Amino acid sequence: MPGPRRQLVLTVDWSGRGDHRRVQDAVDAAPANSSAGSVVIRIKPGVYREKVVVDKPGVTLVGTSASSTVITWNESWVAADSPTVSVLAPDFIAKRLTFQNTFGTSGPAVAMRVAGDRAAFYGCRFVSFQDTLLDDTGRHYYRGCYIEGGTDFVFGNARALFDKCHLHSTSLVGGAFTAQKRSAESENTGFSYVGCKLTGVGKGTSILGRPWGPYSRVVFALSYMSSTVRPEGWDDWSNPAKQRTEFYGQRAVPVLRRRVQD
């Protein structure tokens, strides 16, 4: 019988008191294939200004806290390697980290691209403005995460469950929480949000989603929605024909209000 898989543990510390100063250097030191074992990369508090590409299976990134451990870059979306962090291999896990793109509001800028199968994020933060989180392909799970942006800030064509996450819109007008890209009825993809919270900086400034693909599919279940969400909820991206094929649903958590007597 095969023995237990080996696990390599590496420490990243920008100050030099670890195995590596850069996150990418630690990823490069990981085994090249899953049969060789997995790697846990512990990242000490700090701001790591670098782009990271995870192209090896079985990599786990662990921060001390999302508020103190930040991977950041400043680049608009111009190519596949533009995101701050790109996950291209399967069996990836991230815990207690912030993934940030500081490009600003003038165009798409991806903080995280997830294109590997079986990825999971726990207590992480994703921060940009347009196209913050590219949930591209594969099956993904997000629990207790914070996602901030203004326009289409969760987008892509993966199959993802967002569990007790907080989505915060920074758009003052014309914002959209999601842009899901399912392009055919046969595709088993879509975004599911359960027990989540949706907030924002303005009132009635953002829609829940719009169809990047004609069969776009997004569901919000038992989630709190603040007044940031526009009353109509969804948009067809100026293409009424997509209303026949897209699937959108929401069930908000009822909010009990105490009646104030004059």
Residues labelled catalytic: 131, 152
DSSP 58-106: SEEEEES-TTTEEEEE---S-STT-SSEEE-SSSEEEES-EEEE---SS
Question: Nearest Cα to 199, choosing from 232, 217, 223, 180?
Answer: 223
Residue tagged 């069930």 (tokens): 251
The residues, ordered by sequence, that sit 6+ positions from 236 with a Cβ below 8 Å of its Cβ are 210, 211, 242, 243, 246
- Contact call for residues 31 and 9 (beta carbons, < 8 A): no
Cα dihedral 100/102/107/109 (nearest 10): -30
Distance, C-alpha 260 to centroid of its chain: 40
Residue tagged 């953002």 (tokens): 206
Measured at the CA of 17, the angle between CA 12 and CA 20, to 5 degrees, comes to 35
